[in-house]
Amino acid sequence: MNAVQDDDAPLLAVEGLEKRYGRRVGCTQVDFRLWPGEVLGVVGESGSGKTTVLNCVAGRLAPDAGRVLYTDRTGAARDVHGVSEPERRMLMRTDWAFVHQNARDGLRMAVSAGANVGEPLMAVGARHYADIRAAAGDWLEKTEIELGRIDDPPTTFSGGMQQRLQIARALVAGPRLVFMDEPTGGLDVSVQARLLDLLRGLVTELGLAAVVVTHDLAVARLLSHRLLVMRQGRVVETGLTDQVLDDPQHPYTQLLVSSVLQP
């Protein structure tokens, strides 16, 4: 499946990314690279531009300037916003996954859990019902959802379960790159902890690359190898997670870190 790939080539290269909303700057001068198996956290307060960056990089929003280059399974570099919409949607369907803050945005609420997880497989050609159902069952177990719920619609699930179902649906078809937008936002603290453990385990087990947007530094510390700190649309600091959080250089980062409530 994987062709010979230059191991030095980053999976994702973002250059000079900029997006404006009228006069307001969404994000500007954003550059970073992401390698296979790496998790990049993007942190900042609301309004910092982190979600804008995520949406541009994930192909969901067209930037006003800059490029997003993705290296596909054949080793070819693809300009995410330069390719045609069909090609981009194909990438989004096969190579990438997106986990929304609100699980409802990433699920079909009227359809069973099993169908939700099975759909990405069927979208790429799976045609054996029992196999699809078995794969869905595996993933429900992996995301700690009771197998007996496989035929229930997500409307009957708790918030935490819906989020785990969304994750199962996102990962079932084996994407190389996952984008997450506040994956634990809106959940109880204890539920968050369980979800984070799960995510960390899956990312490591599957060798996924990920870009995770969060305002919660604890989430960033637990999940990401590297961090991008954003303020008012700009990247103010970047580096290894532990370094940035333990020894912040930029005054804003220092403020962020110091304002985290200590238990």
Partner 1 sequence: MSEARDPAYNFAYLDEQTKRMIRRALLKALAVPGCQIPFAGREMPMPYGWGTGGVQVTASVLKQDDVLKVIDQGADDTTNAVSIRKFFQRTAGVAVTETTAEASVIQTRHRIPETPLAEGQILVYQVPIPEPLRFLEPRETETRKMHALEDYGLMHVKLYEDIARHGHIATTYAYPVRVADRYVMDPSPTPKFDNPKMSDCPAIQLFGAGREKRIYAVPPYTKVESLDFEDHPFTVQAWDESCAFCGAQDSFLDELVTDDQGGRMFVCSDTDYCNRRREQGFRGSATEDAA
Partner 2 sequence: MYVAVKGGERAIDAAHRLLAEDRRGDPAEPELTPAQIREQLKLGVDRVMTEGSLYDRDLAALALKQARGDQIEAIFLIRAYRTTLPRFAVSKPVETSRMALERRISATFKDLPGGQVLGPTFDYTHRLVDHALAAPHAGAEPAEGAPVSEDAPRVLDLLQQEGLIEPAGAAAECPPFDVTRTPPSFPSERDARLQQLARGDEGFLLALGYSTQRGYGRTHPFAGEIRLGSVAVEIEPEELGFAIELGEIEMTECQMVNQFQGSAEQAPCFTRGYGVAFGHGERKAMAMALVDRSLRADEFGEARDAPAQDEEFVLSHCDNVQATGFVEHLKLPHYVDFQSELELLRRLRREHAERAMPEAAE
Show the binding pattern over residues 110-149: x = contacts partner 1 (CB under 8 A), - = does not: -xx-xx--xxx-xx---xxxx-xx----------------
Tokens standing for residue 96: 């990438």
Q: E strand or H helix at 161, and its extent?
A: helix 159-171
**Contact assessment for residue 109 and residue 132, using Cβ atoms and an 8 Å cutoff:** no
Q: Residue 27 CB, nearest distance to partner 2 (Å)?
A: 18
Q: Is residue 89 close enough to count as binding partner 1 by CB under 8 A? A: yes
Please choose which of partner 1, partner 2, none residue 127 contacts, taking the beta carbon within 5 to 8 angstroms, the exact cut-off set by kind.
partner 1
SS3 58: coil
Residue 22 within binding range of partner 2, rule CB under 8 A: yes
Under the criterion CB under 8 A, does residue 127 sit at the interface with partner 2? no
Does 85 bind partner 2 (CB under 8 A)? Our answer is no
Q: Is there binding between residue 93 and partner 1 (CB under 8 A)? A: yes
| Secondary structure (DSSP) of 181-234 | ESTTTTS-HHHHHHHHHHHHHHHHHHT-EEEEEES-HHHHHHH-SEEEEEETTE
What is the smallest separation between the CB atom of 237 and partner 2, expressed in angstroms? 30
Q: Is 23 in the site for partner 2 (CB under 8 A)?
A: yes
Distance CA 208, CA 90 (A): 19
Residue ranges binding partner 2 (CB under 8 A): 22-24
